[in-house]
Amino acid sequence: MCNFNFYKLFSMPILSVKNLSVFFENHQVVKNVSFELLPKKITALVGQSGSGKSVTALAIVKLLHKAKISGEVVFAEKNLLELSEEKLCKIRGQEIGFIFQDPNTSLNPLHKIGKQIAESVTVHNSKISKKDLAKRVADLLKMVELNSFISRLDDYPHQLSGGQKQRVMIAIALANNPKILIADEPTTALDVTVANDILNLILRLKNELEIAVLFITHNLRAVRKIADQVIEMKEGRITPSCDGIARVKNDTLNSPLSPRLMTGSAPKKEILTVKNLSVIHPIKKSFFKKENFYAIRDFNFTLNAEENLGVIGESGSGKSTLAIALLGLIKAQGEVKFFKEKTWAKNNFDLRAQVQIIFQDPFSSLNPRMLVKDIIAEGLLIHKIQGDVAATMDRLHLDLNLQNRYPHQLSGGQRQRVAIARALILKPEILILDEPTSALDSYTQNQILKLLAEIQNNQKISYILISHDLEVVSQIADRIMVLKAGQIVELGEKSQILSSPKEAYTKTLISNF
């Protein structure tokens, strides 16, 4: 029998979803979904982007505006879909906690962290004393392993790292001791070490607080680590699966990536030389004393034609700073030469066409007011060169019917393909990829990686791949450069870095995968 779970023999469900359907106007996006959450168990809801995972989670607590929701969501012997908004407000946050996907948009940028945590308590307990409220905030910070933050309650969200913001979101979700925690992509865009810490935290809290967790993700590595049962969604439906855990462990939800075709072992010409590259931010300590913060410090490396260099490291290690420094988009010291030409020379305009970058978030890097065809053609106009938009779209397997759409009308994978098309239409020799797959589900991620391999085989291009995902880097890179706190810790052949790293930091980084 499919979707059978051993725990159901011994545990009564704390929440039952029965024939849940969601309509936006006349379009059905969730189709007769049924599943149960069990006490003290983590249920993973997995699937490709657009499969209906997040919509399903939001529908459970009726947080979808302008949507028609049918079916049943039974909690404490009540159908949540039939409750008034007033009664639902008492359940949201108090009985069911929610960790939203992006803490940058979920946390109020104008309010201090301490105030936001306190508000999550007082909204359901307005009579709590100041003394008890302060203690509760302190207890919550300790619970999510932010003990030192007692002195940082006056900080604003932008002053926190990605992992710290996610811990604050978890503290807010747990403020009123809910029985259920819904976590929507809680590790997206976090580096592997921080993501691993967040997963361990969720595991610990599940055991200590004895709560049920609905864990929504496209990260199969995370599912393998923490899930007790797995539900897979596709095109708004739950797919039949007799053993979701086994399917995830065997990676059958993914299609394997074919290895890059190597062009031969003959040495290639050197096309990038970096010497003593540093990016320095002055810090004003006092009127008489000034200090410098090195975002990256004394980088030295080379890149050969048709070679792929993978750059890995935790958040804040200097990966993205390196990318914009290579292109001269930030003030830097040292020397960067592409094709033996200085990047930062005043007459380097033509050089920029040969060195392109694809940024981490295609949604924010694509002009929302421009059509797809104009976005792709923009570089041609700037550099006054000829190019075929339709042919480029075809090479990237983009439907030509998308030409007259705007970025918000595209899926995540389609937006990333448009970003790649915009870069490739200029026929660059070097493409810098800054976290090109971090926000994509595993299936779409594999499609993009296959596409990059296909492009390289046809166009003889070099990649600098910046990522916190070692699995992605291992698929593409010939050499790997490991960064920590703005410095190069280790640089070597992929096989050497992955199988026998020399530095302790590299060993720790690899062990987290």
How far apart CA 392 and CA 402 sit, in angstroms, is: 13
In sequence order, which residues have a C-beta less than 8 Å from that of residue 329 and are 6 or more positions away?
none
Mean pLDDT of 257-267: 44
Q: Among 160-164, 232-236, 424-428, where is mean pLDDT lowest?
A: 160-164
80-138 pLDDT tens trace: 999 999 999 999 999 999 998 778 788 999 999 999 999 999 999 999 999 999 999 99
Q: Give the integer Cα–Cα distance in Å for 494 and 143.
A: 39
DSSP-derived letter for residue 82 is: G
- What's phi and psi for 80, nearest 5 deg? -60, -30
> Across the chain, what does the average pLDDT equal?
86
Comparing C-alpha atoms, which of 86, 75, 68, 77 is closest to residue 39? 75
Three-class secondary structure assignment of 309-338: EEEECCCCCCHHHHHHHHCCCCCCEEEEEE
What's the whole-model pTM score?
0.70
Q: What is the pLDDT of residues 190-244, one digit of tens each?
A: 777 888 889 999 999 999 999 999 999 888 888 988 999 999 999 899 988 645 5
* Domain 1-90+220-251, CATH number (from 1.10.150.120, 3.40.50.300, 3.90.950.20, 3.10.450.200): 3.40.50.300
Q: Would you state the pLDDT for residue 261?
A: 38
Neighbouring CB atoms inside 10 A of 210's CB total 10
Region 174-179: what's the mean pLDDT? 95
Length of the chain: 513
Mean pLDDT of 381-392: 79
Q: Does the CA dihedral 27-29-34-36 come out positive or negative? A: negative
Record the tokens describing residue 223, joined without a space: 């599912």
Per-residue pLDDT tens for 29-58?
999 999 999 999 999 999 877 788 989 999
Q: How many percent of the chain have pLDDT more than 70? A: 88
Measured on CA atoms in the order 385, 391, 395, 398, is the torsion positive or negative? Answer: positive
375 pLDDT more than 60: yes
Highest mean pLDDT among 5-14, 146-155, 177-186, 333-342: 177-186
Each residue's pLDDT tens digit, 289-303: 677 889 999 999 999
Check residues 240 and 280 and name the one with the higher pLDDT: 280
Burial class of residue 451 in the structure, from the number of CB atoms within 10 Å of its CB (0-12 exposed, 13-18 middle, 19+ buried) = middle
* 393/373 Cα distance (integer angstroms): 9
Residue 3 has pLDDT above 50, yes or no: no
CA-nearest of 438, 503, 430 to 470 is 438
What are the structure tokens assigned to 53, written together? Answer: 């995972």
199, 226 contact by CB (below 8 A): yes
- 405-440: b (≥16 Cβ within 10 Å) or e: eebeebebbbbbbbbbbbbbbbebbbbbbbbbbbbb
Count of beta carbons in the 10 Å neighbourhood of residue 473? 22
Question: Under DSSP, is residue 122 helix (H, G, I), strand (E, B) or coil?
Answer: helix
Burial of 27 (0-12, 13-18, 19+ CB in 10 A): exposed
Return the structure tokens found at 224. 């393998």
| Stretch(es) of the chain classified as CATH 3.40.50.300 | 1-90+220-251, 272-511
Q: Give me the amino acid identity at 198.
A: I
Where does the pLDDT of residue 338 fall: very low under 50, low under 70, confident under 90, or very high at 90 and above? confident
User: For the chain, how far is it from start to end, CA to CA, in angstroms?
Assistant: 33
Chain Cα centroid distance, residue 139: 29
Q: What pLDDT score was predicted for residue 88?
A: 94
CATH topology of domain 272-511: Rossmann fold (3.40.50)
Separation between Cα atoms, residue 353 and residue 263, nearest integer Å: 24
Q: What residues contact 135, with CB distance under 8 A and at least 6 apart?
A: none
3-state secondary structure (DSSP) of residue 46: strand
Q: Residue 150 pLDDT more than 60?
A: yes
**154 within 8 A of 186, measured Cβ to Cβ:** no
Residue 80: Cβ-neighbour burial (10 angstroms; 0-12, 13-18, 19+): buried
Contact of 203 with 176, CB cutoff 8 Å: no
Run of H or E including 215: strand 212-217
- Crossing angle for the helix pair 162-173 and 130-143, to the nearest 10 degrees: 130
